């Protein structure tokens, strides 16, 4: 199995080498517009994002790692 294609910043977070994991995790502007939210949750099978006053939305697992994202 080949490693997923991730930025160096993402790999640093996944491998616990980042001095600033929240530069990649959390809420950020997405290059295609809008917002992306990323979370690292080791051993989780699913993860949901629950916006204030909104409905729960399933986050997408980032293939090959214990991280999830929602755009």
pLDDT per residue as tens digits for the range 11-56: 999 899 999 999 999 999 988 899 999 999 988 999 999 989 999 9
Beta strand residue intervals within 3-66, DSSP E: 26-29, 35-40, 48-49, 57-58, 60-61
Provide the domain count of the chain.
Answer: 1
Residue 22 counted as domain residue: yes
pLDDT score recorded for residue 63:
83
Residue 2 counted as domain residue: no
Q: Which stretches of the chain are DSSP H helices?
A: 8-14
pLDDT tops 60 at residue 1: no
3-state secondary structure of 44: coil
60 within 8 A of 67, measured Cβ to Cβ: no
Distance CA 2, CA 71 (A): 25
Residue 3 counted as domain residue: no
pLDDT score recorded for residue 21:
95
Distance CA 55, CA 41 (A): 21
């Amino acid at each position: 199995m080949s490693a997923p294609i991730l930025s160096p910043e993402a790999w640093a977070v996944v491998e616990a080498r980042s001095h600033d994991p929240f530069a990649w995790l959390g809420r950020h502007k997405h290059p295609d517009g809008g917002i992306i939210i990323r979370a690292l949750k080791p051993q989780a099978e699913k993860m949901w994002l629950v916006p204030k006053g909104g409905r729960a939305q399933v986050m997408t697992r980032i293939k090959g790692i214990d991280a999830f994202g929602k755009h």
